[in-house]
C-alpha cells in the first residue's frame, strides 16, 4: 500500500489550509475541520519570506495574493538617536526569486479557501475536535464536541499553539505565556512624517521604552502598522476580552514616551483609529521530543509543534515549510515505512527550525545597544547568510532526508 488514502486536518487557519493544498498537489485526499462557524476574517498583516512564497507558488496561490500585498526587500533598524543601526534582508527577487510580501492574514486565508473549494477539497465548519478515541497502525478515530466522530488514515493537528490535538501526545503540556504582548495599530502612512530617504519598514530601538515598529501595508503602502511590546500578566479569555475592549489604554500606551523617540514616532501616533487596534499575546511551547504519535497516525505541526520567536519573522513561514514537506513525506512513504519517514521529517524540520533560532540570536546580538558592542563576536558582525533559508529545493530536501 502506498500513501495514506485520506487525511483529516484539524484547523482551517493558514497551516491547515496550506496543508490541504499541499496534500492535493500530491494526490492525497483530505478533509479540513474547523471549530469556528466560518473562516477567520480578523488578524493583522503577516510577513512572508521567499521560502514560504515558493511553497505558496507551488500550490497555486502566490499569483493570487501578490496583487493584494505590499512587497519589500529589507527591514531596517535605527537607534534612539535615529541613526541606521542595521538591516536585514527579508526577500530579494533577483537573489531568491521573490521579494518579501506583507499581507493581511484574512486576505491569504480567503485565497487559500477559494483555491480549496476550486479543487473540491471538503471543509467542515462548526466541528470542534475534542479527543482521539483510538489509533491503530492503519487508522485513527476521534470525536467532535457535537457527539459525532471521524475516522481517517492520518489526523493532523494544525490547530495552533493552544492545540487540542497536541493533548493526545502531551496531555499535561500547556503553552507558557512569556509575559509580553504586542500592542499594534494601523494608521494612514500619509500622517507619518520622515526625512527624505528614510527607509521603511523600520524598528526604532529605545533603551527606556523598547522598540517601536513602523511597517507599511496594503498593496500601495498607504497604511502602516505601528506597534510596541508591553509586559503583561497572564489572563484568561475573559481577561483578554476585557483588555481588548478597552481601546483607549492601547492608544495611551502607544503614545507613551513618544517624545523620547525620533520625530517620526510622534507623527505616527498623532492619530490612532480605535477600530484599528490589535493585541497579540506571546506564548511559547518547549522543544518537543516527537511530533507524531506511537502509531504515526496523529501528527502536529506549525505552532502546535514548535514556537519560534518573531525576531527573524519566520513563525508562519516555517509552518508552511512543515505542511509542504509533510505532504511530500506522505507521498513518498509506504504505510509500513511511515514511522521512519516521520522521524526523518521531524529531524530535518527541527534542524531548520534550530538554524532559525540561531539566526534569531545572531540578529538580537547585532542589535544590542552600542555600549554593549564589546560583547559581540566576529560572527555576529558578519553579513547574514540567508541562501539556505530563502532558496531551498523542498522536493530535493525531502529526498535527502529519506535517503
- The pLDDT tens digits for 323-366 are 999 999 999 988 778 999 999 999 999 999 999 999 988 887 76
Strand 154-157 vs strand 298-300: parallel, antiparallel, or unpaired? parallel
What domains are there in the chain, each with its CATH number?
7-45+105-175+285-402 (3.50.50.60), 176-284 (3.30.9.30)
Provide the grid cell at 31.
Answer: 478533509
Contact 320, 349 (CB under 8 A): no
Q: How far apart are CA 5 and CA 370, in angstroms?
A: 57
Instruction: Look at residue 2 in the predicted model and tell me its pLDDT.
Output: 52
293: helix, coil or strand?
coil
Q: How far apart are CA 264 and CA 324, in angstroms?
A: 41
| Residue 1 pLDDT grade (very low, low, confident, very high; cuts 50, 70, 90) | very low
| 27 Ramachandran zone, left/alpha/beta (phi>0; psi -120 to 50) | left
Instruction: Look at residue 382 in the predicted model and tell me its pLDDT.
Output: 60
Q: Has residue 301 got a pLDDT over 70?
A: yes
How confident is the prediction for the chain on average, in pLDDT? 91
Rounded alpha-carbon distances, angstroms, from residue 178 to 96, 129, 183, 184: 34, 27, 15, 18
147: helix, coil or strand?
coil
- The pLDDT tens digits for 373-385 are 444 454 455 677 8
Q: How far apart are CA 332 and CA 325, in angstroms?
A: 11
128: helix, coil or strand?
coil
Whole-prediction pTM = 0.93
- In the chain, what percentage of residues exceed pLDDT 90? 75
Q: Has residue 371 got a pLDDT over 60?
A: no
CA distance between the termini of the chain: 20
Amino acid at each position: 500500500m502506498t500513501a495514506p488514502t485520506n487525511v483529516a486536518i484539524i484547523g482551517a487557519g493558514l497551516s491547515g489550509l496550506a496543508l490541504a493544498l499541499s496534500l492535493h498537489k500530491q494526490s492525497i485526499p483530505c478533509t479540513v475541520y474547523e471549530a469556528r462557524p466560518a473562516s477567520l476574517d480578523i488578524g493583522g498583516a503577516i510577513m512572508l519570506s521567499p521560502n514560504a512564497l515558493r511553497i505558496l507558488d507551488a500550490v497555486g496561490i502566490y499569483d493570487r495574493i501578490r496583487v493584494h500585498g505590499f512587497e519589500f526587500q529589507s527591514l531596517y533598524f535605527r537607534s534612539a538617536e535615529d541613526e541606521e543601526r542595521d538591516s536585514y534582508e527579508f526577500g530579494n527577487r533577483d537573489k531568491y526569486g521573490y521579494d518579501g510580501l506583507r499581507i493581511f492574514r484574512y486576505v491569504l486565508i480567503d485565497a487559500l479557501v477559494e483555491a480549496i473549494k476550486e479543487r473540491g477539497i471538503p471543509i467542515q465548519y462548526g466541528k470542534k475536535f475534542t479527543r482521539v478515541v483510538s489509533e491503530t497502525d492503519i487508522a485513527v478515530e476521534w470525536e467532535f464536541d457535537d457527539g459525532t466522530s471521524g475516522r481517517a488514515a492520518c489526523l493532523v493537528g494544525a490547530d495552533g499553539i493552544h492545540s487540542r490535538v497536541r493533548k493526545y501526545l502531551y496531555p499535561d503540556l500547556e503553552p507558557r505565556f512569556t509575559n509580553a504582548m504586542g500592542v499594534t495599530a494601523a494608521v494612514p502612512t500619509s500622517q507619518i512624517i520622515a526625512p527624505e530617504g528614510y527607509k521603511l519598514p523600520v524598528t526604532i530601538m529605545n533603551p527606556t521604552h523598547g522598540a517601536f515598529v513602523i511597517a507599511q501595508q496594503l498593496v500601495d503602502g498607504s497604511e502602516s502598522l505601528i506597534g510596541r511590546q508591553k509586559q503583561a500578566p497572564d489572563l484568561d479569555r475573559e481577561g483578554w476580552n476585557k483588555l481588548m475592549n478597552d481601546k483607549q489604554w492601547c492608544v495611551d500606551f502607544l503614545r507613551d514616551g513618544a517624545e523620547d523617540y525620533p520625530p517620526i514616532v510622534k507623527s505616527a501616533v498623532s492619530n490612532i483609529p480605535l477600530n484599528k487596534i490589535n493585541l497579540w499575546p506571546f506564548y511559547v511551547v518547549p522543544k518537543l521530543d516527537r511530533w507524531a504519535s506511537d502509531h504515526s497516525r496523529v501528527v502536529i505541526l506549525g505552532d502546535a509543534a514548535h514556537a519560534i520567536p518573531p525576531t527573524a519573522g519566520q513563525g508562519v513561514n516555517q509552518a508552511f515549510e512543515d505542511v509542504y514537506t509533510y505532504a511530500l513525506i506522505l507521498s513518498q512513504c509506504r504505510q509500513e515505512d511511515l514511522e521512519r519517514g516521520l522521524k526523518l521529517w521531524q529531524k530535518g524540520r527541527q534542524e531548520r527550525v534550530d538554524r532559525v533560532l540561531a539566526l534569531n540570536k545572531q540578529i538580537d546580538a547585532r542589535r544590542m545597544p552600542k555600549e554593549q558592542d564589546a560583547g559581540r563576536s566576529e560572527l555576529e558582525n558578519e553579513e547574514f547568510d540567508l541562501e539556505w533559508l530563502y532558496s531551498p529545493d523542498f522536493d530535493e530536501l525531502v529526498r535527502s532526508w529519506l535517503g
